[in-house]
A and B are shown apart, each in its own frame.
Chain A
Amino acid sequence: MIAVQALVKEFPKKDGTTFRAVDEVSFEAAHGEIVCLLGVNGAGKTTTMRILSTVFKPQSGKASIEGFDVLTQGDQVRRNLGFLSGDTGLYARLTPREFIHYFGRLYGVQDNAIKRRIEEMSALLDMREFLDKKMEFLSTGMKQKVSIVRSIIHDPPVMIFDEPTAGLDILTARNIIAFIRDCKQRGKCVLFSTHIMREAERLADRVIMIHQGRILTQGSLPSLREESGLTDLDDIFVYYVNQASADAKVEAHEF
């Protein structure tokens, strides 16, 4: 499971001040659940996920994957985590088989297990014919399949998808969405981010709306609909953004 508590991440700016990309973010995600981080570009989704995957270190707050602290137990965190984003590149001069073996070994998976898994997944994702072609010759869809296998080669209990469908065509995107559903079926804990409301609507058990580094609201879709009195997720999102800025104005007046 994923547990995030009062997470803060600031980046230094050239003028000496800091920019708060993630501001006191707290949430949890359990096994067998798909949780969606929903927000416009620059809301802090990617930064949050990078903290969870130990790429960034937070200034304050806590975050853990399967109970392992991202700050102090990075190795265990990464071992329990699969990470996939829409715009990751691949090593052009390697074949998918070599590429997956490379990451499997880095995760400490035995070679036999890697082989088995490649067989299994390539049958499932229909990738046998290009397993030994250099990746520079693969299409976007093929590449994304390779990335999928790479992300679960160590069979992690937690999966994080950062804008997994960004820049992909409809057919490839469908593959990814099917894969995310599949992860849930297998009882994994899934966190994914998107700025596309429809995607959140179709996939998520729970939605966390995030704006300017802060969480606006979180809950299941029905509960959000009920609370806002609106049906369309677009409208609901705008409703919460407006509410937050109204709150901010009131605060300013009081001050």
Chain B
Amino acid sequence: MSFKKALIVYRKELLELLRDRRTLFATVVLPVIMYPLLFMGFSAIMSRQAGVLEKRGATVAWVDSLSIRNADSGSFSKSIQDNLAKLEYFTVVPAPKALKQLYAEEEIQAIVTLSDSLSKQGLATYKLQVQYDASGERERMIYGKIEKALLATEKAEINRRLVTLKVNPELIKPMVIVPRDTSTAEKKMGSFLGMFLPYIMILTLVAGAATIAADLVAGEKERRTLETLLVSSASRSEIVWGKYLTIFTMAMVNVTINLVSLSFSLRFLMSQSGLETQGLQLPISAFLILLLAMVPLASLFAALLLSISTFSRNMKEARTYEQPIMMVSMLLGMISFVPSIEINNLLALVPVVNISLLFKAVMINEYALSHLLLTIGTTLVLDAIAIWATVKLFNTESVLFRSEDDSNVKISRANKRSFFNPFYGLVYFAIAVLALFYLGGKWQAANLVRGLQMTELALILLPVLIVLRLLKLKPKETLRLKLPRLQEVALVPFIAVSAAVLVTLAAQLINAVFPFPPEYMESMSKIFQQDVSLGMMFLVIAILPGICEEVLFRGFLIRFFGDKARNAVIISALLFAIFHLDPFRFLPVFLLGLLLGYLTVRSGSIINSMLSHAINNGLALLVVTYASQPWLKPLLQDAENFKLWVGLLALPVLATSLWMFHKVTAPKELN
């Protein structure tokens, strides 16, 4: 591998990209003009709208229904009318005959009625009723102005009364509130920018890199230039490095231009809108730190997207495969919008999230160097892995030349005709999720225990059996309903218990990073606090899910996802995790799904995973029920979580029992 040749590739790719008007437009021109247009256009529209609304003014009907008239009330009524009439663009009219109709037709936007009333102590008081339609923006503005005018009148009236009583009006002002804002203009600006800047930056970074990456390998495949490059004396790694550097460079250029353009247009906007610009400087040092933090992220995305491009047959396919990466990074980047989350050492280990939060912290100048280093370090590690994987992919001819193998296409078409193909699998799953969400949710809300029973039996188990019946498939074979051998099944309890302990610990770790909301914890523990016998709880929580959910996921759905056992296990585990409709438990359930899938596929018997599933759920019930018992308490750190050393103990148990399971279930050699 010579870097010189990588540089030759790099220079050529850049040259080509710079000649592509679309790329040039998206990378350079668009960010330069987008922010000014966006901000100025937006602020112009906003201020214009407000101005227009004001100028439209208002017609206010005045109804004086005082029952007692004297000099005081007369002058009070008059001063209110005067104050209202003084409002700019306001017309005050005495209530016309067709008041109701005019109000309904919005010719009159508000009706102010003055009447007299009694206070709680029985003192005479004026009552002012303001009738308006609070759903209209214009009407809300009108009400605001009326309220101000009325309060001004009230103040004048109070003063008048105090003067009559020969009391100094100052007497009723025992205090004044004076806000003194110590935040600097930078900080204000920073906290504002810190909300949405990370998101915009990550979005532009990914979107820009994705377009270029798709072009660089998948595009070369499509245009049939890749082979020429491969037979040249550049090695595959040199080609990968050249292309990777190209994407990386363009992504960084894009990010830099975005940052600069954004800062300029913001500065302009702030000076325009009359915000205090005195001494306001955009935090230039902050931008430099951010640029530095973006370097590994840009590199990571460059490598990831390049590997997708390598895998794809053409650009269209590449763009399709890039979608999930873009979606995930957008969602992760959005974390900066969540007000209470701040970067910590754990979050600094989560890619994209760490950059997003670091951004936020840097913008208000409250970040720790350790966070910056952790963020860069983590991203660099992932980055190295991604680059290594891309080089490896590029060296795998079955990947690089996926379009070549026509026979593959024919076979996959033949597969489509059978019922068990991924498409039907996803459709079935989607229907099941909808049924769970609408029907299951309803049943469980009515009666939790009965609802859970019905869900498991009627929504999860029964449809599978019906479909198998309709298709005349043998449940025993399709679902792998085969008695396991004794040596397998004897290992299952060890696997299940140790895995359950480890999965709970994993969930705790997630809890430490993303704390579960308290309402969530409450709703979870509600399941265990039902007023039914322990036996019934065991049936609902352990036995039924063990049978029904296993039939659906490890028996039925796993059949839809390909001939490669590994893919089928992974996908069915993913679906299993999604099925629980619970983002907080996604990862633990996914891990559990992987294990259960492995147990079934490896041994060819679903009974193993049924048993394991039931033990896993049963253990949770057991822990919650007997948490305070002396024989269990020492193992727990609170009502439902195990202590760390239990996990450390569980790890070798799981490893050993899984290894033995793997050995016991090894396919027999034919001799």
Binding site for B on A (CB under 8 A): 11-16, 19, 50, 53-57, 74-75, 78-79, 81, 83, 85, 87-94, 98, 102-103, 105-108, 134, 147, 150, 154
Contact = CB atoms under 8 A, between A and B. Distances in A.
16 contacts: A12-B398, A14-B408, A14-B415, A55-B230, A79-B233, A81-B231, A83-B227, A83-B228, A88-B224, A89-B223, A89-B224, A92-B223, A103-B228, A105-B5, A106-B233, A134-B19
B504 to A, nearest CB: 39
Contacts of B230: 53-55
Contacts of B457: none
Given A13-B411, A74-B235, A108-B233, 18 more contacts: A11-B405, A13-B405, A14-B411, A16-B563, A50-B227, A55-B227, A79-B233, A81-B231, A85-B227, A88-B227, A89-B224, A89-B225, A94-B12, A94-B15, A98-B12, A105-B5, A107-B232, A154-B233
Contacts of A98: 12, 15
B407 A11 contact: yes
Interface in B350-394: none
A36 B437 CA distance: 66
B223 A55 contact: no
Given A74-B235, A79-B233, A13 B224 contact: no
A103 B9 CA distance: 9
Contacts of A12: 398
B161 to A, nearest CB: 84
Interface in B407-431: 407-408, 411-412, 415
Contact of A78 (B15, B233, B407, B563): B233
A20 to B, nearest CB: 11
Given A14-B563, A93-B19, A106-B5, A75 B235 contact: yes
B8 A106 contact: yes
Main secondary structure of the interface of B (DSSP, over half): helix
Please classify how large the interface on chain B is, using the bins under 10, 10 to 19, 20 to 34, 35 or more. Answer: 20 to 34
Contact of B225 (A14, A83, A91, A134): A91
Contact of B234 (A81, A87, A106): A106
A88 B227 CA distance: 8
A94 B231 contact: no
A93 B16 contact: yes
A83 B232 CA distance: 8
A134 B411 CA distance: 42
A105 B6 CA distance: 11
A95 B5 CA distance: 20
Contacts of A150: 228
B72 interface: no
Contacts of A53: 230-231
A19 B8 CA distance: 37
Contact of B398 (A11, A74, A83, A92): A11
* The 7 nearest A-B residue pairs measured at CB: A89-B224, A89-B223, A93-B19, A83-B231, A53-B231, A78-B233, A89-B225
B276 interface: no
Nearest to B412: A14
B224 A87 contact: yes
B231 A54 contact: yes
Nearest to A78: B233
A88 B225 CA distance: 6
Contact of A102 (B8, B224, B407): B8
A147 B227 CA distance: 13
B399 to A, nearest CB: 12
A1 to B, nearest CB: 18
Contacts of A147: 228
A157 B19 CA distance: 35
